[in-house]
C-alpha cells in the first residue's frame, strides 16, 4: 500500500522539525507555509515526529 | 552579486559570524527564509551568564529579560533539588537579541536578505561557489556557511551531515503561561516516570508575570505518546486556570557532531553542525563559541584563498579538542539518565546538590571532575556497559 503525505497548514506551527528528520529534504517550510514535495519516500518520520500532529497520511491506489 | 562569504540562516550562528566577518572587512551576505529576524521565538531562552556572553559582544539591557537565580529539580512533583547560585545564566529576550545582532551586522555593511528560501547550492568545478534562491536568482561567494539550524539543508546538500535519525532528535513544545507559580527566577526541571519519562518538563521564568512551560522528549518512539500530551497534562495539573498562549514546537539534535565541518567550500556551524549538549539540549553558548572559532579559521585561511585544509585545522580539529564540548561524555550521561529509575534520579539529584555546594567557581577543572565523579559512582555498572559510546 502506498501513502501520500501532506501537512495541514491550519495546525502546523512551521517549526521545521519534520524537515530536520526528513531523510530526503522533501519538506519545505516557510513562515506560514508548509509543503511535502515529490521527493517524499513515505518513511513516516515526519508523521511520528510532529508534536501537533499536523501531518496527514492518505492512501493512494 | 559576488560576496566573500554567503551565510544561510540569520539566527545566532549566522548573525554572529556576519558581525565578526564584516568587522574584519569581508563582504558578507546573510539569507534567511523567515520574514522577520528573531520571530517567531522558538527557544526556552535560558543560556549562560553575562560574563560568558560578553566575551563575544556587549549585551544591551533590552536583550536580557532577567538573571537566573538558581535551579530546582522535581521528581514526580516532589522537590528533589533546589540550589541558589550566582552567575548561573540569564533569560534572553531572544527576539530583541537577534534583532540587535542583525542591526549590528547590517550597520557594518553585511547584506541581509529575508523571506527568501535557498533551494540549491551551485557547484563550479569541484567546489561550491554560490547558492540558488527560490526566485531563481543566484548569490555567489567564496565560502558558504550553513547556519540553517537543525534542518541543516546546506550541510546535507554538501554531504557534510545527514538528517537527524529518530533516536537522536528531541521533540520540544512550549507554552507561555500567565502565572506567578514557579516564577521565582529558578529554572525548574520536572523529571520522573510519572511527570516525563524519556525527557523533562521545564518551567523557566519569562518575565514578571509569565513563565515558559515546555517539554523535551528524547527520541521519537512509536510506543510513546507525543510530547504534547505530557506538556498538556502538566499544564492542566499545575496551571489549569491560567491563560496560555504562544504554542511553539521544535526539533533539537541530541547527537554527536560530525568530525568534519568543512567540505568543498561549505562550512557548517551551530545546530546544523549538531553542536548541542545532548544531555541538556542547550546550544546557545556552544554556537557562539563555535562561530567565533570558525570566523578565526576563515580569517586565517584568507591568504591561501580559503583553503579548506586550514579552516579544518583551526575549526573542526580545534573544536574536537575542546574539553568543554566533550559531547560524548554528555551523550553517555543522557543515556544513563534516560535509563534511570525514579530512585536513581533522586540519588543523582542529591549528589548534584552536594556537587553544587562544593563548586569552586574559580577552579572549573575541579568542578568538572567532581561533577563527573558523582554520577559515575551511582551509575558505575551501567556506565561500564555504555562506555562503548565514548569510542564511537
What string of pLDDT tens digits covers the 392 residues of chain B?
A: 789 999 999 999 999 999 999 999 999 999 999 999 988 888 888 888 888 889 998 999 999 999 988 888 899 988 888 888 777 889 999 999 999 999 999 999 999 999 999 999 999 999 999 999 999 999 999 999 999 999 999 999 999 999 999 999 999 999 999 999 999 999 999 998 888 888 999 999 998 899 999 999 999 888 889 999 999 999 999 999 899 888 999 999 999 999 999 999 999 999 999 999 888 888 898 899 999 999 999 999 999 999 999 999 999 999 988 765 578 878 888 888 888 888 888 887 777 776 666 554 544 444 445 455 555 555 555 555 555 555 54
Which DSSP category does B225 fall into?
A: P
Residue of B nearest to A18 (CA): B251
Residue of A nearest to B157 (CA): A25
| CA–CA separation, B261 and B161 (whole Å) | 8
Residue of B nearest to A17 (CA): B251
Chain A residues lying within 8 Å of B152, measured CB to CB: 20
B167 lies within 8 A of chain A by CB: no
The verdict on a CB contact (< 8 Å) between B251 and A49 is: yes
| CA–CA separation, B41 and B248 (whole Å) | 8
B149 lies within 8 A of chain A by CB: yes
Residue in the structure block whose three cell numbers are 522539525: A17
Burial class for B377, CB neighbours closer than 10 Å (0-12, 13-18, 19+): exposed
How many helices and strands, by DSSP H and E, does chain B display? Answer: 11, 16
Q: Please give, rounded to a whole number of angstroms, the shortest distance from the CA of A8 to a CA of chain B.
A: 15
Whether B363 contacts B95, CB under 8 Å: no
pLDDT tens digits, B31-58: 999 999 988 888 888 888 888 889 998 9
Query: What would the DSSP string read from start to end of A1-60?
Result: -EEEEEE-TTT-----HHHHH-TT--EEEETTEEEE-TT-----HHHHH-TT--EEEEEE
Return all residues near B381 (Cβ < 8 A) that are at least 6 apart. Answer: none
- CA B140, B141, B144, B148 torsion-angle sign: negative
Tell me the CA distances in angstroms from B327 to A29, B139, B143, B330, B364, one per residue in order. 29, 35, 27, 5, 17
The verdict on a CB contact (< 8 Å) between B172 and A51 is: yes
Going by C-alpha positions, the residue among B312, B189, B173 that lies closest to residue B247 is B173
- Helix boundaries (H) for chain B: 12-23, 50-53, 94-107, 153-157, 227-238, 284-301, 308-314, 316-321, 327-338, 342-358, 364-386
pLDDT tens digits, B241-277: 899 888 999 999 999 999 999 999 999 999 999 999 8
Interface of A with B (CB under 8 A): 13, 15-23, 25, 28-31, 45, 48-53
Whether B18 contacts B3, CB under 8 Å: no
> Which residues 42-101 on chain B approach chain A with CB closer than 8 angstroms?
42
The verdict on a CB contact (< 8 Å) between B169 and A28 is: no
Residue of A nearest to B231 (CA): A51
Residue of B nearest to A53 (CA): B226
What does the radius of gyration of chain A's CA atoms come to, in whole angstroms? 11
The verdict on a CB contact (< 8 Å) between B253 and A28 is: no
Mutate to test the interface with B, among A7, A17, A32 (most CBs of B within 10 A): A17
| CA–CA separation, B177 and B103 (whole Å) | 30
**Mean pLDDT computed over every residue of chain A:** 92
Chain B residues lying within 8 Å of A23, measured CB to CB: 162-163
Pairing assessment for the beta strands B138-146 and B2-8 based on DSSP bridges:
parallel
Exposure letters B226-263 (e unless 16+ CB within 10 A, then b): bbbebbbbbbeebbeebebeebbbbbbbbbbbeebbbb
Q: Please give, rounded to a whole number of angstroms, the shortest distance from the CA of A60 to a CA of chain B.
A: 23
Residue B365: predicted pLDDT: 44
- Alpha-carbon dihedral B51, B99, B156, B300, rounded to 10 degrees: -60
B135 lies within 8 A of chain A by CB: no
B37 lies within 8 A of chain A by CB: no
Amino acid at each position: 500500500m502506498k501513502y501520500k503525505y501532506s501537512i495541514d497548514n491550519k495546525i502546523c506551527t512551521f517549526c521545521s522539525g519534520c524537515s530536520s528528520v526528513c531523510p530526503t529534504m522533501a519538506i519545505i517550510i516557510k513562515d506560514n507555509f508548509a509543503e511535502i514535495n515529490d521527493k517524499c519516500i513515505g518513511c513516516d518520520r515526519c508523521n511520528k515526529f510532529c508534536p501537533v500532529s499536523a501531518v496527514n497520511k492518505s492512501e493512494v491506489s | 552579486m559576488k560576496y566573500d562569504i554567503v551565510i544561510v540562516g540569520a539566527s545566532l550562528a549566522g548573525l554572529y559570524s556576519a558581525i565578526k566577518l564584516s568587522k574584519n572587512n569581508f563582504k558578507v551576505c546573510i539569507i534567511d527564509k523567515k520574514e522577520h529576524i528573531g520571530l517567531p521565538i522558538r527557544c526556552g531562552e535560558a543560556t549562560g551568564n553575562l560574563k560568558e556572553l560578553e566575551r563575544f559582544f556587549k549585551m544591551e539591557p533590552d536583550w536580557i529579560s532577567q538573571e537566573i537565580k538558581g535551579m530546582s529539580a522535581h521528581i514526580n512533583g516532589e522537590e528533589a533539588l533546589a540550589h541558589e547560585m550566582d552567575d548561573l545564566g540569564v533569560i534572553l529576550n531572544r527576539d530583541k537579541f537577534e534583532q540587535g545582532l542583525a542591526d549590528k551586522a547590517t550597520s557594518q555593511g553585511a547584506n541581509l536578505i529575508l523571506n527568501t528560501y535557498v533551494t540549491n547550492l551551485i557547484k563550479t568545478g569541484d567546489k561550491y561557489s554560490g547558492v540558488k534562491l527560490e526566485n531563481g536568482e543566484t548569490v555567489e561567494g567564496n565560502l558558504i556557511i550553513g547556519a540553517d539550524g537543525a534542518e541543516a539543508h546546506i550541510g546535507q546538500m554538501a554531504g557534510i551531515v545527514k538528517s537527524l535519525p529518530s533516536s537522536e532528535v528531541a521533540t520540544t513544545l512550549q507554552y507561555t503561561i500567565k502565572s506567578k507559580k514557579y516564577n521565582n527566577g529558578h529554572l525548574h526541571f520536572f523529571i520522573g516516570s510519572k511527570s516525563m519519562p524519556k525527557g523533562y518538563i521545564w518551567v523557566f521564568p519569562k518575565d514578571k508575570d509569565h513563565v515558559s512551560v515546555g517539554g523535551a522528549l528524547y527520541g521519537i518512539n512509536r510506543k510513546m505518546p507525543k510530547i504534547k500530551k505530557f506538556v498538556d497534562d502538566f499544564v492542566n495539573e499545575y496551571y489549569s486556570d491560567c491563560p496560555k498562549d504562544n504554542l511553539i514546537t521544535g526539533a533539537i539534535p541530541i547527537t554527536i557532531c560530525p568530525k568534519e565541518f568543512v567540505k568543498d567550500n561549505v562550512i557548517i556551524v551551530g545546530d546544523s553542525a549538531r553542536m548541542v549538549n545532548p544531555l541538556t539540549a542547550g546550544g546557545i553558548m556552544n554556537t557562539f563559541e563555535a562561530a567565533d572559532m570558525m570566523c578565526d579559521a576563515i580569517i586565517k585561511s584568507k591568504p591561501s584563498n580559503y583553503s579548506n585544509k586550514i579552516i579544518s585545522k583551526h575549526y573542526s580539529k580545534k573544536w574536537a579538542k575542546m574539553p568543554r564540548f566533550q559531547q560524548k561524555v554528555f551523550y553517555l550521561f543522557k543515556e544513563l539518565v534516560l535509563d534511570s529509575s525514579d530512585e536513581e534520579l533522586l540519588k543523582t539529584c542529591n549528589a548534584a546538590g552536594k556537587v553544587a555546594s562544593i563548586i569552586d567557581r574559580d577552579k572549573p577543572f575541579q568542578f568538572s571532575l567532581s561533577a563527573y565523579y558523582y554520577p559515575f559512582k551511582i551509575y558505575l555498572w551501567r556506565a561500564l556497559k555504555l562506555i562503548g559510546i565514548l569510542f564511537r
